[in-house]
Chain A
Amino acid sequence: MRQRTASDEDLPLVDRALAGDTQAFEDLVRRHECRVFRTAVGLTGNNEDAEEALQDTFLNVYQHLGEFRRDSRFTTWLTRIAINAALQKIRRRKGNVSLDDPEVAEAEFMPRRVESWRENPERLYAAEETRRLVEEAILSLPPAYRVVFVLRDVAEMDTVEAAEVLGLTVAALKSRLLRARLMVREALAARFAERPVLKSRLVQAGMMVKQAVAAGLSRFPRQNGEE
């Protein structure tokens, strides 16, 4: 295991918090609450569960700070607690959730939709709608993949630390990350690719034709076929 504790900039605050300085503990919380919240949103897919997980995480950290072994970074330890807190929220809704590799068959993540996307496809939707699409895409991942995706691409943790948090080798983490990214891409492609938009335009055009027909404006002699 790597030794990076020498460069762990959280340790001074941890020491002061352990000595009873609650302001130092709050500073530590403020430093990390955004990343913990984002991790929890990514894992649970909603603000309410994420908020509960956020509170549980820091209450737990406060109560167990003395058990933090300095053989890992503080953030590594913190993130493990945050993941467990979020998993508890998921389990409450969905039953047992395991982070073991579910052995996703290769066909599950091979790219199927290979149409190019529109420029800024997310602007087709309201911000709230895009967020929901993204959350659903992440939630559709098996938990073992979701957690890797969330640590790397939502919480923006580096590869080495994310591997350490999850007890995976860097190679295993990277392999899951690739699959997770491809699966999220696939889920979003259903909404952002050119084709569905084109289709909806055709539907729109079809409706205009129907309206024109209904208004008796059509110059075409044959109108059957269109229903």
Chain B
Amino acid sequence: MFDCRQVLAELSNYVDDEVTLELRHAIEEHLARCGRCSVVYDTTRRTLKIVSGSLPPGAPLAVSERLHVRLRQLFAGGA
């Protein structure tokens, strides 16, 4: 039987789906009966979703344009 400490140690791997089937079962069995760990798991998963969704997906258009203007100056022999 997995205890809270063991689940916490594997939490990140579990979120990334980088655990063996055996480990997955052990973790899920623990989560089903431990409210504390299941909240930590759920909120960690959601943390990553919120982080990913709230930062800009990439360079804004204007930023990209300024970069390419600068690069063309460089190609033309400027600084």
Chain B residues with Cβ under 8 A from A29's Cβ?
A: 67-68, 71
Judging by beta carbons under 8 Å apart, are A26 and B55 in contact? no
Chain B residues with Cβ under 8 A from A174's Cβ?
A: 12-13
Pick from A35, A54, A131: contact of B63, CB under 8 Å: A54
B39 interfacial contact with A, CB 8 Å: yes
Pick from B9, B16, B18, B50: contact of A134, CB under 8 Å: B50
Given contacts A174-B13, A185-B47, contact A111 B71 (CB under 8 A): no
Q: Using a Cβ–Cβ cut-off of 8 Å, how many residues does chain B contribute to the interface with A?
A: 38
Interface of A is mostly: helix
> CA of A178 to CA of B6 in the docked complex: distance in angstroms?
13
> CA of A184 to CA of B12 in the docked complex: distance in angstroms?
13
Judging by beta carbons under 8 Å apart, are B53 and A153 in contact? no
> CA of A54 to CA of B58 in the docked complex: distance in angstroms?
11
**A residues with CB within 8 A of B:** 22, 25-26, 29-30, 33-38, 41-42, 47, 51, 54-55, 58-59, 62, 110-111, 114-117, 121-122, 127, 130-131, 133-135, 137-138, 153-154, 156, 159, 174, 177-178, 181-182, 184-185, 188-189, 192-193
Given contacts A47-B63, A62-B71, contact A37 B18 (CB under 8 A): no
> CA of A156 to CA of B67 in the docked complex: distance in angstroms?
23
Question: Per-residue CB proximity of B21-49 to A under 8 Å, as 1/0?
Answer: 00000000000000010011011101110
Judging by beta carbons under 8 Å apart, are B12 and A178 in contact? yes
A189 CB, nearest partner CB in chain B, Å: 6
Pick from B40, B53, B57: contact of A122, CB under 8 Å: B53
Chain A residues with Cβ under 8 A from B18's Cβ?
A: 159
> CA of A189 to CA of B43 in the docked complex: distance in angstroms?
8
Judging by beta carbons under 8 Å apart, are A25 and B71 in contact? yes
